[in-house]
């Protein structure tokens, strides 16, 4: 009964059926994140009525059993025992295939498969991974992974947006060295599933096989970079957690899921010597939007409170990106800086698989190349410029960064590398939802 009630709440909130993938964040994240996830998605009044309704049903059930007990003073008859046993068996059988047990079972299976990935990865590294350096390491490379950023809400990528949510990005967009890609899409609509494909040779087109489970960290090591994973997210058991822990240096900010500005202090710990690949995983615009910026940050006025808070989180991220860029470019010999979000956000259905919408997949992507990098690699800068209007999906971040790091391996392909002349993802072939949805269905 409680399962049915919970499902009904979900159905009316999302207007769709619950998917196993949506159980993953619940099983993987911690209590605080689940609380903000629920707070952001289910109205408190609805939650209260559901809990109250459930309690009434339990009390009614207890009362019925009590009344029945008095009536049947002769105890159990053989007939009632058989009926009860059959009913219990049927309930157990169906409960296993009903919400939420079915979803928990499927999500657990998915976690088991991801744990198996460790063995597969070790085997791939030992037997398949061959990487070739086509150049020397050059300065430091920064990859900023955004969170729940929808490019439609960013004026720099959607000039028609009525509110100026990205003053800094709008200013630098046409500056030399910056390349903005207004037609980038997420390969899935949840963090774990996008980030893991973004940072491995796995993609939706030619590399679905686990044989391509080699990571950006593996490639960066071959290219001579020390690898850093600096995060404002809590760790998890999924493939992303595994990739994170394979970095040479893993640094969590002191107050996890708090202010993204903490990552600026972490950047100060990166030594001047050597070459570094630095992954910065920000909280960006994760639910609850109002928690993503300091209280004194100027609010962006929106059509309603939710949109206003979301847009303010986008504006705060714009300021964080400015500060990260200034530090990386001026003090930390950045040669390449890439900003890409994991997935987008729908103002009604947030993100997940309950009610798919393209708002959940339209993501920001830009790349900055330093003057010396552009000087040395004119062909790459030229290719990025030429491909600015091309469609892109973020499972190809791996191929593009491998290209920019001058390392080619069996996990990456030139035709998926935005900085290569051969880049050729077309609208007809571009996919999302791990290959299940054609991006061309999104009317541009």
CB-wise, 387 or 434, nearer to Zn ion? Answer: 434
Distance CA 23, CA 35 (A): 14
* Dist. CA 119–CA 116, nearest whole Å: 6
Helix (H) or strand (E) holding 329: helix 305-331
Which residues make Cβ contacts (< 8 Å) with residue 239, sequence separation at least 6? 114, 117, 192, 196, 200
Nearer to Zn ion, 20 or 133 (CB): 20
Residue 147 or 395 with smaller CB distance to Zn ion = 147
Six-digit token string for 324:
């990260």
Q: Which H/E stretch holds residue 167?
A: helix 167-172
DSSP conformation letters of 89-145? HHHHHHHHTSTTHHHHHHHHHHHHHHHHHHHHHHHHHHHT--EEESS---SEEEEEE
Least spacing, CB of residue 148 vs Zn ion, in Å: 5
Q: Shortest distance, CB of residue 2 to Zn ion, whole angstroms? A: 29
Contact 139, 334 (CB under 8 A): yes
**CA–CA distance, 304 with 351 (Å, rounded to integer):** 19
Contact 317, 260 (CB under 8 A): yes
3-state class (DSSP) for residue 6: helix
- Minimum distance between the CB of residue 226 and Zn ion, rounded to whole angstroms? 26
Least separation in angstroms between residue 177's CB and Zn ion is 28
Q: Which residue is nearest to Zn ion (CB)?
A: 191
When the beta carbons of 33 and 413 are compared against Zn ion, the nearer one is 33
- Which pair of structure tokens corresponds to residue 140? 């430091």
Considering beta carbons, is residue 191 or 432 the nearer one to Zn ion? 191
Which residue's CB is nearer to Zn ion, number 121 or number 233? Answer: 233
CB of 216 to Zn ion, least distance (A): 18
Q: Which residue lies nearer to Zn ion by CB, 28 or 220?
A: 28
- Angle of helix 78-96 versus helix 101-127 axis, rounded to 10: 40
Q: What are the φ and ψ backbone dihedral angles of 419, each rounded to 5 degrees?
A: -95, 15
**Distance of closest approach, residue 218 Cβ to Zn ion, in angstroms:** 24
CB of 317 to Zn ion, least distance (A): 13
Chain positions contacting Zn ion, by CB under 5 A = 147, 191, 342
CB of 407 to Zn ion, least distance (A): 27
Question: 414 is written with which tokens?
Answer: 């030139």
Nearer to Zn ion by Cβ, of 191 and 313: the residue is 191
């Amino acid at each position: 009964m409680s399962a049915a009630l919970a499902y009904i709440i979900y159905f009316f909130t999302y207007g769709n059926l619950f998917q196993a993938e949506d159980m993953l964040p619940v099983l993987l994240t911690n209590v605080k994140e689940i609380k903000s996830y629920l707070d952001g998605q289910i109205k408190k009044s609805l939650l209260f009525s559901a809990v109250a309704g459930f309690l009434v049903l339990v009390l009614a059930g207890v009362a019925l059993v009590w009344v029945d007990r008095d009536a049947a003073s002769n105890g159990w008859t053989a007939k009632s025992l058989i009926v009860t046993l059959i009913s219990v068996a049927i309930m157990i059988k169906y409960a296993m295939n009903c919400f939420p047990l079915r979803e928990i079972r499927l999500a657990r299976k998915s976690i088991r498969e991801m744990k198996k990935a460790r063995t597969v990865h070790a085997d791939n590294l030992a037997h398949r991974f061959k990487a070739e350096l086509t150049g020397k390491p050059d300065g430091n490379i920064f990859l900023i992974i955004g969170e729940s950023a929808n490019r439609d809400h960013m004026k720099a990528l959607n000039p028609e947006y009525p509110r100026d949510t990205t003053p800094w990005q709008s200013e630098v967009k046409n500056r030399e060295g910056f390349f903005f890609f207004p037609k980038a899409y997420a390969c899935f609509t949840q963090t774990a599933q996008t980030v893991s494909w973004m940072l491995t040779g796995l993609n939706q087109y030619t590399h679905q096989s686990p044989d391509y489970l080699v990571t950006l960290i593996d490639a960066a090591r071959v290219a001579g970079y020390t690898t850093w994973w600096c995060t404002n997210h809590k760790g998890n058991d999924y493939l992303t957690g595994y990739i994170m822990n394979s970095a040479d240096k893993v640094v969590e900010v002191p107050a996890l899921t708090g202010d993204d500005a903490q990552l600026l202090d972490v950047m100060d710990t990166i030594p001047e010597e050597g070459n570094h690949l630095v992954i910065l995983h920000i909280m960006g615009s994760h639910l609850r939007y109002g928690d993503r910026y300091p209280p004194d940050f100027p609010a962006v006025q929106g059509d309603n409170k939710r949109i206003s808070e979301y847009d303010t989180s986008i504006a705060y991220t714009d300021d964080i990106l400015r500060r990260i860029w200034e530090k990386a470019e001026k003090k930390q010999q950045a040669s390449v800086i890439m900003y890409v979000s994991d997935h987008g956000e729908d103002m009604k259905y947030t993100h997940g698989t309950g009610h798919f919408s393209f708002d959940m997949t339209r993501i920001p992507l830009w790349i900055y190349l330093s003057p010396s990098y552009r000087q040395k690699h004119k062909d790459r800068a030229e290719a990025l410029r030429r491909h600015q209007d091309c469609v892109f999906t973020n499972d190809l971040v791996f191929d593009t960064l491998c290209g920019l790091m001058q390392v080619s391996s069996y996990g990456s392909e030139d035709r998926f590398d935005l900085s290569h002349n051969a880049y050729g993802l077309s609208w007809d072939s571009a996919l999302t939802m791990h290959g299940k949805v054609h991006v061309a269905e999104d009317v541009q």
